[in-house]
């Protein structure tokens, strides 16, 4: 059985085209997960709406606890890291991580950054090899193949690779860097552009993104469970 971890980071709770001021990134994640269930109803899916229920922002106590060896943890340290432990456990269990997120002010929403800060953990998702000072970081989630699907929505156009505004896009590059750092290197990306333009530009982008999502679901299901996917 394949395990999916599914995150929505948009501050908008509704779906574009259905709810007033609805979210396009949520539309993409909803489409991905719906199509996944249609082909693999038995798979386990854990959902977190971090846009509406953001993780805690890390503080001094979190840093002190996370950089203390587990065998030396005091009770307050265990309590401080309880939320992080839960989020890390969900990620470690996942075969496919699905992240739906808008581009806010050239980067990721604060809620998604808070999630990243909670799951990049010394001793849990990354280790330090003192014997290799030139490259001391050891990604602990490279122990088995994991895939990350990044589904994004942008107000403008040209923010994708090779686009005129690509140099101002610090969302996907930041996410890819963080995920690679902990060992998730099989990254798949689909984006909608033109929310602020609307009209035919947005409609065409939405239609293309939905087609790409459908194709990506088929591709990943064939890779992960080749014998279970219908012809």
23 is in an annotated binding site: yes
Query: What is the rounded CA–CA span in Å between residue 98 and residue 150?
Result: 6
First-to-final CA distance of the chain = 19
DSSP state of 7: E
Q: Which of 181, 25, 185 is nearest to 108 (CA)?
A: 25
- Is the Cα torsion angle 8, 146, 172, 85 positive or negative in sign? positive
How far apart CA 9 and CA 21 sit, in angstroms, is 15
25 is in an annotated binding site: yes
Local structure of 5: helix, strand or coil: strand
In Å, what is the CA distance from 74 to each residue of 53, 71, 79, 121, 125? Answer: 28, 9, 9, 17, 21
Helix (H) or strand (E) run with residue 91 in it:
helix 82-93
Among candidates 192, 191, 188, which has minimal Cα distance to 219? 188
Comparing CA positions, the residue from 27, 46, 29 lying closest to residue 89 is 46
Q: Would you say 56 is a known binding-site residue?
A: no
Q: Is 66 annotated as a binding residue?
A: no
Known binding positions for FMN: 10, 23-25
Known binding positions: 10, 23-25
């Amino acid at each position: 059985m394949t395990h999916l971890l599914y995150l929505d980071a948009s501050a908008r709770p509704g779906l574009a085209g259905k709810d007033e001021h609805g979210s396009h990134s949520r539309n993409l994640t909803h489409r991905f997960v719906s199509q996944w269930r249609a082909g693999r109803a038995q798979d386990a899916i854990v959902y977190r709406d971090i846009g509406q229920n953001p993780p805690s922002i890390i503080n001094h106590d979190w840093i002190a606890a996370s950089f203390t060896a587990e065998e030396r943890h005091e009770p307050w340290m265990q309590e401080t890291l309880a939320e992080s432990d839960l989020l890390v456990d969900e990620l470690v269990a996942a075969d496919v991580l699905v992240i739906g997120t808008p581009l806010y002010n050239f980067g990721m929403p604060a809620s998604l950054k808070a999630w990243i800060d909670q799951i990049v953990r010394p001793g849990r998702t990354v280790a330090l090899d003192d014997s290799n000072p030139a490259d001391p970081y050891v990604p602990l989630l490279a122990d088995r193949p994991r895939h990350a699907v990044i589904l994004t929505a942008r107000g403008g156009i040209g923010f994708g690779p090779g686009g005129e505004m690509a140099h101002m896009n610090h969302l996907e590059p930041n996410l890819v860097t963080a995920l690679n750092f902990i060992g998730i290197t099989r990254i798949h990306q689909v984006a909608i552009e033109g929310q602020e333009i609307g009209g035919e530009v947005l409609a065409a982008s939405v239609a293309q993104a939905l087609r790409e999502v459908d194709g990506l679901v088929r591709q990943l299901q064939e890779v992960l469970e080749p014998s279970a996917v219908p012809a």
